Structure 1
Amino acid sequence: MPTNPKKLAIKDFVYDLPDERIAKFPLPERDQSKLLLYRHNQIANHTFTDLPALLPANTLLVFNNTKVVQARLLFQKETGGVVEIFCLEPVAPHREVQLAMQQTGSCTWKCLVGNNKRWKSGPVKLYFEGGIVQAEREAQQDGHFLIRFTWEPAELTFAEVLERCGRLPLPPYLNRELTPDDHTRYQTIYAAEQGAVAAPTAGLHFTERVMEQLTAAGMDTTYLTLHVGAGTFKPVKADVMEEHEMHAEQLYITKPLLQRLIQQQDNPVIPVGTTSMRSLESLYWLGAKVLDQPGLPMQELHVTQWQAYESINQPVASEALTGLLAYMERQKTDYLHASTQIIIAPGYTFRVCKGLVTNFHQPESTLLLLVSALIGEDWRKVYQHALANDYRFLSYGDSSLLLPA
């Protein structure tokens, strides 16, 4: 059984990140970012367009095709003040993001509210071309609010409402206003499924040119959907990891994805980004769970924070993935909706992934723990090299290809 990382101290995952090393804006061309290659415990500098030539033979690259929604809404109070509402996740009538985005007329979401103290009572309104959306507070829970939205014309979907009057939620550490460029550059070129409130940023470097080069190099690609939540930016404030609650994110699984992963068992599966890695490893644990509990109701498909470290049933990867596929066949569905709180930290044993394409992450973050789980203490060497060689950090920053020994 893997070593349980509950007692890990987050202060052991700190490095000095000067503000000027945070990339505040994207490069003019996506694929001209730097690419740090970590392979055989060695580090080399490349450009992102070199990626297809650097991947192991017969790699399957797995992309997260979630699309960032314009989840920030600026409402006007009758007195003229502004209340900012940031949609986090749907509550009613659907908790499933894809269904919630298609809801018409009204819905309730869990939200963060800026200037809440100035919002005394009653609804606030936001006018857009050809319509109006109104927001009312229903309840407050753990620093969040349940906000009921109603809108006219009622036949518009919530996705259309956000598209017409919302704003793109840039990462808080960029600490700047939105620019017109961000609307295209803070989405991957393959973004398709609306529902994320943060981009899967490792994918921002990919261009049509790189995709064509991947095909020419004999690499295969496939897609999954994990809707990235605001929790991805949640700092670890606890001294040890057992006191930190991982955020849950919604994951969508298709039969063709599972079939492709099962075929790939003897060749490398490399996720693009930490969200893809969390998704792929979660598929293994969902498979282990349904092998253990064949009659598990679909609404209980959830990977808990510590399941990977406490589960007795740990089949080989092909068994787990085949078990999940058989579960889908029993349920007569081609598509599963699950959620995951998986924490990948030192002590974790990777079941599906053999490497990672990823950006450079914040100090004392769960994403840095994930990198350390993959390449061990060499994460320090990688980050020191990146700092010493003018790599750009965080969402709009440069990239790395991490291939553990």
Structure 2
Amino acid sequence: MYQLSDYRFDLPDELIARHPEKNRTDSRLLHLERTTGARHHRHFSDLSGLLNKGDLLVVNNTSVIPARLIGHKESGGKVEVLILDYREGMAAMDREGTFSCRCLLKASKRVKPDTPIRFGEHFSAVVESFDQGIYRLRFECDGDFDRQLEAHGNMPLPPYIKRDADAFDKKTYQTVYAKNRGAVAAPTAGLHFTDELMETLKAKGVDIAELTLHVGYGTFEPVRVDDIRDHAIHTEWYEVSEETAHAVNTAKAQGRRVVAVGTTSVRTLEFASKEDGTLTSGAGPCDIFIYPGYRFKCVDAMVTNFHTPESTLLMLVSAFAGRDTIFTAYEEAVSQKYRFFSYGDAMFIG
């Protein structure tokens, strides 16, 4: 249960979804009953039939920025830049008037400090420092930074998708309820929702609350220790409003289900909840690592995608439904040729 090898499984390469479904709700949905382990094969459009009047659906409203930039040094050498902390950069802009933050760089050789990188005629950056694989860049542009970023940046698709982002990804790799800019990876369980489905759920009497967790690139970082209990998880910025805390606490007090959309919502709800299950409002760094043995305080059901082998996300869903139950469901999903990972199909566990 605590060995990294316990979370390894084989997945045929053709089951890794590299493009989304044409219609978001056309994705398949594996309904896993948390208590019995029973499995039912559906489509995401069937979700409204699995939610009850009075359920509280909690979504992550973070918005993915086009964080991947292609630039060139003065020598002509190509440099690929991935912005790691948009929120940090905006804070620097407020203080100093310049967007400056930590970034990952990919080039033929290490890029030295003070090296200028040009992305466009009016958009560039200068390397300020390098430490333990992370660079700090100071960006320079004419006019609004966000406008330049939108014009020159690409969506930061996960490495396993193995293709360059295109113009369509700026829409499809974003939830329909995204509003708070800052993520460099999408809360992918939310990608299946449409405005029409959200309205259908509201009409049924399902309440909806929002929180924010700015998903970081650390979500793709592999676990490098044999005993998962020794793993140091990445930190991401979260925000829970007083309104959302009140909605969750009222639902819990009335015996209604709290249904989290995605592991990011699960982590935020559990991190911000007291031992008695009371959700507190606030904002700050979230570093909760949920693996089997964890006692859930707030979340009663969840919508989630299928996760990569040996990932902390797979450990989280194993904690929620049981490792053996999850792996049995995954084996069935593979045999039924479900599509996996960010642009893949979904599960409803409840």
Question: For this structure pair, what is the TM-score category when the shorter chain's length is used for normalisation?
Answer: over 0.9
Distance 1:180 1:164, change over 3 A: closer
TM-score by length of 2: 0.93
Q: What is the aligned-residue identity percentage? A: 40
Is the Cα–Cα contact under 8 Å of residues 53 and 217 in structure 1 kept in the other structure? no
TM-score by length of 1: 0.81
* Aligned equivalent of 2:265, options 238, 251, 276: 276
Distance 1:218 1:204, change over 3 A: same
Is the Cα–Cα contact under 8 Å of residues 123 and 134 in structure 1 kept in the other structure? no
Q: Which one-letter code corresponds to 2:31 in the other structure?
A: L
* Aligned equivalent of 2:123, options 133, 141, 156: 133
Distance 1:255 1:81, change over 3 A: same
Distance 1:402 1:248, change over 3 A: same
Distance 1:120 1:282, change over 3 A: closer
Alignment of 1:236 with 2:223, yes or no, is: yes
Aligned to 2:115: 123
1:272-351 alignment, distance < 5 Å: 272-284=261-273, 288=274, 314=275, 316-318=276-278, 321=279, 324=280, 336-351=282-297
Task: Kindly state the Cα deviation for residue 339 of structure 1 after the two structures are TM-superposed.
Answer: 1.0
> Which secondary structure state, in structure 1, belongs to the residue aligned with residue 84 of structure 2?
strand
Is the Cα–Cα contact under 8 Å of residues 62 and 272 in structure 1 kept in the other structure? yes
Task: Kindly state the Cα deviation for residue 388 of structure 1 after the two structures are TM-superposed.
Answer: 1.0
1:28-47 alignment, distance < 5 Å: 28-39=22-33, 40-47=36-43
* Aligned equivalent of 1:68, options 61, 64, 71: 64
Q: Distance in 1 between matches of 2:231 and 2:277?
A: 28
Deviations 1:58-114 (A, max 9, x none): 210101011110111212111211111111015xxx73x764687884132111110
Q: Structure 2: which 5+ runs fail to align?
A: none
Q: Distance in 2 between matches of 1:107 and 1:365?
A: 32
Q: Distance in 2 between matches of 1:84 and 1:105?
A: 24
Alignment of 1:21 with 2:15, yes or no, is: yes
Which shows bigger deviation, 131-140 or 51-60?
A: 131-140
Deviations 1:6-49 (A, max 9, x none): xx111101111111110111111110110000113200000111
Q: Distance in 1 between matches of 2:150 and 2:177?
A: 18
Q: Distance in 2 between matches of 1:254 and 1:63?
A: 13
Aligned to 1:304: none
CA RMSD, 1 decimal: 1.9
> Which secondary structure state, in structure 1, belongs to the residue aligned with residue 99 of structure 2?
strand
Task: Kindly state the Cα deviation for residue 56 of structure 1 after the two structures are TM-superposed.
Answer: 4.0
Alignment of 1:367 with 2:327, yes or no, is: no
> Which secondary structure state, in structure 2, belongs to the residue aligned with residue 126 of structure 1?
strand
Is the Cα–Cα contact under 8 Å of residues 62 and 214 in structure 2 kept in the other structure? yes
Q: Distance in 2 between matches of 1:147 and 1:42?
A: 50
> Which secondary structure state, in structure 1, belongs to the residue aligned with residue 82 of structure 2?
strand
1:179-198 alignment, distance < 5 Å: 179-198=166-185
Task: Kindly state the Cα deviation for residue 161 of structure 1 after the two structures are TM-superposed.
Answer: 2.8
Alignment of 1:145 with 2:91, yes or no, is: no
